[in-house]
Amino acid sequence: MRTGKWKEPMNPKEKNPGREELELILDNFSRATKLSLAAVNTYGEPFLTSTSYQENSFCRYVKKTENGRAKCEKSYCKACKQALQWKEPYYFMCHAGLIMWALPLVVEETLIGAVMCGQVLFWEPDEMFFRQLERSFTAEEIQKLRTLAKDIKVISPSESDSAAKLLFMAVHYLSKNADASLKEQKKRMEWRNALISRIQMRKEKFQDAEFDLSVYIKRERRYLQYVRMGNKEKIQEMLPLLFTDMEILSDYEREKIRFWLSDFAALSSRAIIEAGADCEMVFRIMDQYKTELKRMNTIEELIEYTYKTLCRLFEYIYLTNKDDYISVLKEVRKYIDIHYSEKLSIEEIAKEVYLSPSYLCTLFKKNAGNTIHDYILRVRIEKSIEFMQDRSLSLKDIMKKCGFKSQSYYTKAFREMIGVTPGQYRNKFL
């Protein structure tokens, strides 16, 4: 039985009071100093900017060049670690020659990123500045950057020092009195680091061997069964494993993993609808997912966003659009999940929730998307698949344990729902 809330990474765009307070601090500092300001995670990717944040045209062009954004993120990633080590504003020069400083963001003794400030120079751009760019840019790109360099802000070292100290005090205060948004960011980074670590370990394990696709197919089938059953614990257990499988099968190529994840999310959404979620709501969320997935730049972002979207969808399983009916449907599902091996009748279930049999059938069909009999059958089929993993049990034993009175009916129902007979499924997929 599914209980509790799904834990998911926070959407960087979602609002909450703590987050708005942090945005206010960043926004006012940026307005007062006219300096670019952004909070980045430990991978160098921005997760929060001030509302008035606007990169200069020089930096915007740099990020559009080949590997430009990746080089910026690499600079920020290194600066995060250095800022933590020195525990003070860390000054550095980015790969495009601009001066920046990083202030570490530490929550509960864990580095979650840094506030990056600057994108300035201490002098007007001269020929030496442009010659240094030759190491990273083509002649054509440098010509364009010469034109855009006029947009680079020039400040004195003392102005930079004062701004860095002021910002350091604000960031230090935020770190010590971490609001909900920073703690959520910490959870996101911990989840992401754990997933990446698992991917790396499995990558090393399989780098000299061909990964068996059939292993993934079997895992995916089990996962979809758990989704249709609303088994929260099993789904949470399997998702990271499936994500790393997809990484290996896609040869760690971003576009391949994008395709795998899109297909996986589509399969999941159909199983979620079968489990009782409102199909229109699922389609709306999936449309948004497909649009956003195209904008993701890294494999980690792709996986994280897919995970977040699925967690959001899982919350809607067996819920209705009317709060008055939610508890009734939950009680019906709970009763069936417990008594699936017994002889069940609509009248008996209706008594448990104090409704007439006819009204309960109408209510369940309207809000869960299928009939009570269909749900009972699906629960019994899914339970039988779980029992199949115990090789000491015969199919006849399993049939009886799951409430089926006839082996022919069990075989027919199983084939209609799964596509193969119980025996074929057990031999091929388990």
Supply the pLDDT for residue 18. 46
In the chain, CATH 3.30.450 covers: 17-179
SS3 for 103?
strand
pLDDT at residue 143 in the model = 93
With a CB cutoff of 8 Å and minimum separation 6, the contacts of 285 are 269, 309, 312, 313
Whole-angstrom distance, CA of residue 191 vs CA of residue 287: 25
Structure-derived torsion over alpha carbons of residues 427, 235, 377, 352, reported in degrees to the nearest 10: 150
The helix/strand/coil state of 117 is strand
CA torsion through residues 188, 191, 194, 196, sign: negative
Q: What pLDDT is stored for residue 15 in this prediction? A: 41
Query: Is domain 323-429 classified as CATH 3.10.450.40?
Result: no
Task: Please give the full DSSP string across 346-363, using - where no structure is assigned.
Answer: HHHHHHHTT--HHHHHHH
**Confidence label for 113 from pLDDT (cuts 50, 70 and 90):** confident
Share of residues in the chain with pLDDT > 70 (%): 82
Which range scores top for mean pLDDT: 3-12, 63-72, 215-224? Answer: 215-224
Radius of gyration of the chain (CA): 28
CB 48 within 8 A of CB 22: yes
Q: In the predicted model, what is the mean pLDDT of the chain? A: 82
Instruction: Please tell me the predicted confidence (pLDDT) of residue 195.
Output: 64
The position carrying tokens 């006012």 is 28
Determine the Cα angle at 67 with ends 63 and 68, to 5°: 25
Average pLDDT over residues 126-152: 91
Model pTM above 0.85: no
Residue 202, pLDDT > 70, answer no
Which of 33-42, 123-132, 239-248 is predicted most confidently?
A: 123-132
pLDDT grade for 203, boundaries at 50, 70 and 90:
low
> What single string gives the DSSP state of each residue in 50-91?
-TT----HHHHHHHHSTTHHHHHHHHHHHHHHHHHHHTS-EE
Tens-digit pLDDT profile for residues 7-34: 333 343 444 434 566 677 778 888 888 8
Q: What is the pLDDT of residues 71-98, one digit of tens each?
A: 888 889 888 888 888 778 899 999 899 9
Gap between the terminal Cα atoms of the chain: 23
Residues of the chain with CATH 1.10.10.60: 323-429
Least-confidence region, from 92-101, 174-183, 369-378: 174-183
Which two tokens mark 239? 């998702």
What's the topology of domain 17-179? Beta-Lactamase (3.30.450)
Is residue 42 within 8 Å of 189, Cβ to Cβ? yes
Helix (H) or strand (E) holding 235: helix 232-249
- Alpha-carbon separation of residue 146 from 61, 129, 149, 267, 383 (angstroms): 11, 10, 5, 50, 68
Strand (E) or helix (H) holding 335 = helix 323-339
**Percentage of residues of the chain with pLDDT beyond 90:** 28
Q: Tokens 């206010």 identify what position? A: 24
Quote the tokens at residue 147: 């034109």
| Contact in structure between 181 and 18 (CB atoms under 8 Å) | yes
Report the interhelical angle of 68-86 vs 57-64 (nearest 10°): 110
Q: What is the DSSP letter of 171?
A: H
Task: Please state the length of the chain.
Answer: 430
Query: How many C-beta atoms lie closer than 10 Å to residue 84's C-beta?
Result: 17
Q: Is 38 helix (H, G, I), strand (E, B) or coil?
A: strand
Pick from 116, 107, 37: nearest CA to 82: 116
- Per-residue pLDDT band for 355 (boundaries 50, 70, 90) equals confident
Provide the 3-class DSSP secondary structure of residue 25.
helix
Neighbouring C-beta atoms of residue 13, cutoff 10 Å: 8
Predicted local distance difference test score (pLDDT) of residue 186 = 66
